[in-house]
Structure 1
């Protein structure tokens, strides 16, 4: 029991936990009564999906509807006129959008702000109330589903400048210093060297995992003693495969430790996991651990961990040029929130800008394809391009995407193309998507063409849409994307965007020095709100948005970007600017109670 409660409840400008001092000053005070008060709850909006399930049903959550709240309020007044003035004050705060702010009574909790969509009240009649100079009202409130914090927060990620240097720590071609460990739930641990696979990597496999009991399986490297001076970022290339097993509750893949310290993934690029060792206080890397916790789902099961490479770098994440970057932003709170995402460069207009947001999920965060090129004409270095290279797709180009980095769904294939040595107009771009297993193309190929008339020197084109992978495959499968053209046609970069899970916006911001009204070095993506119930895209040059304006003809496509805790990936492309910063500003949102930051 709290002996000296410090709680507060404000409806707009009205204090609903009034004091005698307030009544002495105004002639009345409001008191919210605990009887039949109801904070309400978010109301799930669910959609049943038709399926082949023989029993049960698949239900998708499409959003949350408004919460319905109720407060019983009593007015204590000096006289009947003061009662009327109090009712007038309540009327001014009702029947409109407003804020209801509740502060928990122990003084430790954060203020909880309910965004009121609409409210109304009814007087509760009582024949003795007028004699006691009291009025009682039932206040009905319809509020947004989630409560928010009082203070807006911002998360920012900048561009790392300079040349990236990646230095190998362990190429994983020898088992020296490595151990493969298995720790069953409640059982003794076992340890053995991992196997060296002929292709040049290490592999450990644990069988006979206890059914429905978590078994801890790890690849551990010790004896490194590697200084990280000047290169504090660790890159580990690894995969895990489960057969007749599932990840333990609360886990969804591999976890990592550096020097025995749990290391959160800072950037993930398919099977490449990047870590900020300096943020963990690590200046010398002595050991690392790759762990999977899993339970068997049948009597025959296994968990395999493959380690391919361990390196260190002076930059976080793979850098070709700074014109395309994948960055993870922290989203505060526990519920999806409204926010404003800004992409900016202080000295240059952005050029063609792509912003793709998605959950921090393996594969989605790095949609660029050139890094996965397996065959085609030799690339030519060109530092003015987005990828830093160009090659002519008059010869078939193939890109092999691991299925582990390709969540199933609908995909959009974009490519930035330019005129080659000989122009045949129109271009006919031919594409194909193939499932491959063990080096063999499986039946069920998706194909298409895109005809482009009078192409300019460089532009980004929508090549096609597809459902990937074309066929379901095990973790060793690949999806091969093929691109070719009937003419000499240079490709700078291509991208595969998952449009089921992610959201994509493209805006033409111009090239050159920032100029108000024409050449924009700042691009804002704003969520729908009560005041503006559609997503909005703004351009401008000033950080305070004083010269901003809605994108019109400059806007080529837009998505309704979602900001979901605890983190999200933001992949950006800017054809002109190279020193971009992204910032997400938002109110942390929660179910009913706001947690401290």
Structure 2
């Protein structure tokens, strides 16, 4: 197979004579280049005496240049070839490069031009050369789009270990030395711990290792219910041994506090493409003053779906592949394909491995009387008066940066309520510090209706720390005028490559299309079926564009109209210069 280069539908290499006019194209190697994406950089403010800190914020277009030689039986035929080439110039187009023995690569052409390099001797030989310059999108792409399918609504879950039996499958260490893995510390759970640790010593490290083959090919997530003793840090690292020379640290997707009163957390890791011969759980306690320290695990499972924070709030990771971020069309569908989505929330952010997820009610520590309600996002609601409603999220699950604090609120009257928001940092073993806050007037046009409200943007944590918690306090200052209830409140990352879209729809499908070279603005669609798209009506809130990171993007979806919304994505894999698949 020889290489080919095609502009639009016009082959430019190894062409046979045009059947009507007899002209032939040939691309000259000399001076040809596919160019490179142009980095758009900004200087980061610093206290460096000399030099600058810079960062790339985005990429500008690349410029592709090559010379096309046109020959023919006559100059009239050559002119016909020139006209055919000109027909592909000056418009949105594609350039497809097919190397010998490899997959094809496509460059999206935004604009283009051509100029003749005149040569009188070439004219005598019925040969003319044109230099073609193409302004292309920064990165190459694969030829065909890829569909990342929705995960099943009813998750396939399989038990790995119920963790209630001691034996050779479980081993443990304390500070690197062998220790007992035992069910002594908690009934129905395996653990390693010490109740008489000398106070004031350095933080201790604990591991629990389960030996035994586990195949995650059809269930790409590992889920453990665990409890850490003598530590406010919930960070537990999962390490897979697959019999290879190096072990693999799993990507941490989400941590959520269980509400069964057991003090356990449910932690989820990504195990895509893994077959494990053993799994090790590693934890370091962060408070050396505690006399009791350790790690306890129960109910180790593998599953095809990231466990939902609640039935109406779902999280998943979409890994598009390629080497560059890519625009996508994200499709959200009701579980049954027919129930109205209601208020649909979609948030995307680069998968950091920190376990970040927007919902905060799961971290609630204080508030008012809670009423269970399966029709809410969180499964419950309460007034935000007379007490503050308070949540305290582990700092390690919040990548430092900017966050939009939003809440779903229900007013008792059509009025304006001042909502007070406070945030503070609680370092491990210390009192809260650096409390900051603001008051936001929220106008409710109608009483007794749920509203999605953006309360303000916070920089979190409010103070630098290694481990601890970030506290959020929310209070209604005008309860005498209007009572306000709160369902869920969220911390949405608003840093680079993060995006949030909220759509109110009476239909069961929405599509969020990122800008691309053909449509330079984002588009929101809604539909009554998977094949019918219409523009939505009023009620769209958008912040950022939903682009997907090649190594994984966390996609959070919530719908007020029904449980277990499904999310899929259609995209082109993007590459630096040459597609690999």
In 2, the alpha carbon distance for the partners of 1:65 and 1:424 equals: 48
Q: How far 1:572 moved relative to its partner?
A: 0.9
Q: Which range moves more in the overlay, 494-503 or 437-446?
A: 437-446
Distance of aligned partners of 1:492 and 1:363 in 2 relative to their CA distance in 1, 3 Å threshold: farther
Counterpart in 1 of 2:409?
A: 417
Corresponding residue of 1:185: none
Helix, strand or coil at the partner of 1:110? coil
Distance 1:308 1:25, change over 3 A: farther
Aligned residue in 1 for 2:104: 111
Matched, 1:339 2:328: yes
1:141 paired residue number: 134
Q: Which residue of 2 aligns with 1:309?
A: 297
Matched-pair contact (CA < 8 Å) for 1:392–1:489 = yes
- Give CA deviations for 1:32-64 in whole Å, capped at 9, x if unaligned: 111111111111111112211223321121111
> Which of 355, 363, 369 is matched with 2:360 structurally?
369
Alignment-derived partner of residue 260 in structure 2: none
How far residue 324 of structure 1 moved from its aligned partner, in angstroms, is 0.7
Of 266-275 and 27-36, deviating more is 266-275
Q: RMSD in angstroms over aligned alpha carbons?
A: 3.9
Mapped partners of 1:277, 1:38: distance in 2: 40
Residue of structure 2 in register with 1:464 after alignment? 456
1:287, distance to aligned residue in structure 2 (A):
4.0
Q: Which residue of 1 aligns with 2:289?
A: none
Contact 2:339–2:508, Cα closer than 8 Å, also in 1:
yes
1:269 to 251, 255, 258: 255
CA–CA distance in structure 1, aligned partners of residues 126 and 215 of structure 2: 77
Q: 1 CA distance for matches of 2:455 and 2:141?
A: 41
Q: Structure 2-normalised TM-score?
A: 0.80
Change (3 A) 1:281 1:396: same
CA distance 1:438–1:73, shift in 2 (3 Å): closer
Superposed CA deviations along residues 434-482 of structure 1, whole A, max 9, x for unmatched, are 111245433321122233345433222222322111111122x111111
CA distance in 2, matches of 1:199, 1:557: 49
CA distance in 2, matches of 1:16, 1:370: 60
How far residue 567 of structure 1 moved from its aligned partner, in angstroms, is: 1.2
User: Which residue of the partner structure matches residue 518 of structure 2?
Assistant: 531
Task: Give per-residue Cα distances to partners, 1:265-297, cap 9 Å, x unaligned.
Answer: 484337854257797568xxx8422469xxxxx
| Unpaired stretches in structure 2, ≥5 consecutive residues | 198-204, 229-234, 257-264, 284-292
Q: Given that residues 164 and 319 in structure 1 are in contact (C-alpha distance below 8 angstroms), is that contact kept between their aligned partners in structure 2?
A: no
Structure 2 residue aligned with 1:13: 9
Contact 2:171 2:209 (8 Å CA) reproduced = yes
SS of corresponding position for 2:485: strand
SS in structure 1 of the partner of residue 162 of structure 2: strand
Q: CA deviation at 1:587?
A: 0.9
Deviation of the 1:172 alpha carbon: 12
Q: Is the 8 A contact 1:413 1:494 kept in 2?
A: yes
Offset, 1:175: 13
Distance 1:533 1:340, change over 3 A: same
Deviation of residue 393 (structure 1)?
A: 2.7
> Conserved in 1, the CA contact under 8 Å of 2:209 and 2:280?
yes
Three-state SS of the structure 1 residue aligned to 2:396 is helix
Confirm whether residue 555 of structure 1 aligns to residue 540 of structure 2.
Answer: yes
Alignment match, 1:452: 442
- Name the residue aligned to 2:239: 256
8 Å CA contact retained: 2:67, 2:131 = yes
Change (3 A) 1:222 1:355: closer
Which stretch shows the higher mean deviation, 133-142 or 230-239? 230-239
Structure 1 residues 181 and 118, CA gap change in structure 2 (3 angstroms): farther
Residues 415 and 165 of structure 1: is their aligned pair in 2 closer, same or farther, counting only changes over 3 Å? Answer: farther
Q: 1:400 aligns with which of 372, 385, 392?
A: 392
Matched, 1:39 2:30: no
Q: Is the 8 A contact 1:172 1:308 kept in 2?
A: no
Give 3-state SS (helix, strand or coil) of 1:120's partner: strand
The structure-2 alpha-carbon separation of the partners of 1:95 and 1:239, relative to structure 1 and needing over 3 Å to count, comes to farther
Work out which of the residue numbers 522, 526, 536 in structure 1 matches 2:509. 522
* Alignment partner of 1:593 is 2:581: no
Kindly indicate whether the alpha-carbon contact (under 8 Å) linking 2:185 and 2:193 is maintained by their aligned counterparts in 1: no
Q: In structure 2, what is the equivalent of residue 578 of structure 1?
A: 563
Q: Which residue of 2 aligns with 1:186?
A: none
Q: For residues 17 and 381 of structure 1, do their structure 2 counterparts lie closer, same or farther at Cα, with a shift above 3 Å needed? A: same
State whether residues 254 and 269 of structure 2, in contact with CA within 8 Å, keep that contact through their aligned partners in structure 1.
Answer: no
Q: For residues 37 and 331 of structure 1, what CA distance do their matches in structure 2 show? A: 31
8 Å Cα contact 1:521/1:541 also seen in 2: yes
Question: How much has 1:500 moved relative to structure 2?
Answer: 1.5
TM-score normalised by the chain length of structure 1: 0.78
Distance in 1 (CA, whole Å) between partners of 2:347 and 2:531 is: 24
Task: Check conservation: 1:430, 1:483, Cα contact below 8 A.
Answer: yes
Look up the match of 1:516: none
* Cα offsets for 1:290-312 (capped at 9, x unmatched): 469xxxxxxxxxxxx97453433
Q: Which of 140, 160, 171 matches 2:153?
A: 160
How many residues are matched? 529
Counterpart residue number, 2:49? 54
Matched, 1:71 2:71: no
Which of 87, 97, 119 is matched with 1:126 structurally? 119
Distance 1:77 1:181 in 2: 81
Match among 326, 348, 351 for residue 357 of structure 1: 348
User: Which of 423, 426, 431 is the aligned partner of 1:436?
Assistant: 426
